[in-house]
Copies of this chain bind each other. A is one copy, B any other.
């Protein structure tokens, strides 16, 4: 089933996927929206696109006149300058990327195979005007995203390499919902290069830092599965306080 053809990608929906119909319901109710509001949103025109992590979905410099909600997977928002790349934000399932005038200076790329739901900007604005609960929902998401970026900036600005990586691990654990008591198990979907692009370092150093964390007994790894052995110490050393993610 061919779903979408755009400048940079040609995607196919997996025919074996268990989620055939284009439904927002599961995504948005899961993200806190009422059924009534979800129905209003799902009546608005939109389309589903499956993203391949190997290709960029939107390159830096492209006009940004669409709102995107992640149905499954993870999206990275990034900037580039002088051949270097900085990942400035992540979007997990249920989270959205909203358009802004004159804001074409970021790219989007899937970290893992992802499904996203796309609204034209005008359709989104009509929705925001007619469904106040949805407008509030989007505003809260924006504020949360801002709080997260603030925290990332703080990490980059004042924490050392270890603190930055540890803080990111803690954030991923909480955003994935894998936070439990002292033992926290999470799936790290990122390459070390991507962690480097998020924390403003090189992949070589990320590798050393992660190995240090493991050698100190704070985490242990099995492939891309990470077990946080000492959550308290990991949060202490990284200055992590989950409040900003509420």
Interface residues of chain A, those whose CB is within 8 Å of chain B, are 79, 81-82, 84-86, 88-89, 98, 100-106, 139, 142-147, 149-154, 156-159, 197, 199-200, 239, 241, 243-244, 246
Residue in B100, B104, B105, B159 whose CB lies within 8 Å of A81: B159
Q: What are the residues of chain B within 8 A of A241 when measuring CB–CB?
A: 105
> Contact between A149 and B149 (Cβ–Cβ < 8 Å)?
yes
Q: Quick one: copies of this chain in the complex?
A: 2
Most-contacted residue by chain B among A101, A102, A143, A158 (CB, 10 A)? A158
List 11 interface pairs A-B (beta carbons < 8 Å), by A numbering. A81-B154, A88-B154, A88-B157, A100-B144, A100-B147, A103-B143, A103-B147, A105-B241, A105-B243, A157-B199, A157-B200
Given contacts A81-B239, A150-B149, whether A86 and B158 have CB atoms under 8 Å apart is yes
> Contact between B142 and A82 (Cβ–Cβ < 8 Å)?
no
Given contacts A105-B241, A105-B244, whether A88 and B200 have CB atoms under 8 Å apart is no
Residue in B84, B85, B86, B103 whose CB lies within 8 Å of A153: B86
Residue in B145, B156, B243 whose CB lies within 8 Å of A146: B145
Question: In chain B, what residue has the closest Cβ to A85?
Answer: B158
Q: What are the residues of chain B within 8 A of A106 when measuring CB–CB?
A: 150
> Contact between B156 and A244 (Cβ–Cβ < 8 Å)?
no
Given contacts A145-B146, A149-B149, A159-B81, whether A102 and B200 have CB atoms under 8 Å apart is no
> Contact between A246 and B101 (Cβ–Cβ < 8 Å)?
yes
Sort A-B residue pairs by CB-CB distance and give the 10 closest, nearest first.
Answer: A157-B200, A156-B156, A86-B157, A84-B158, A81-B239, A102-B246, A79-B154, A86-B154, A100-B143, A153-B153
CA distance A150 to B139 in the complex (A): 18
Q: What are the residues of chain B within 8 A of A84 when measuring CB–CB?
A: 158
Question: In chain B, what residue has the closest Cβ to A199?
Answer: B157
Residue in B105, B146, B243 whose CB lies within 8 Å of A142: B146
Q: What are the residues of chain B within 8 A of A144 when measuring CB–CB?
A: 100
- A233 CB to closest chain B CB (Å) equals 14
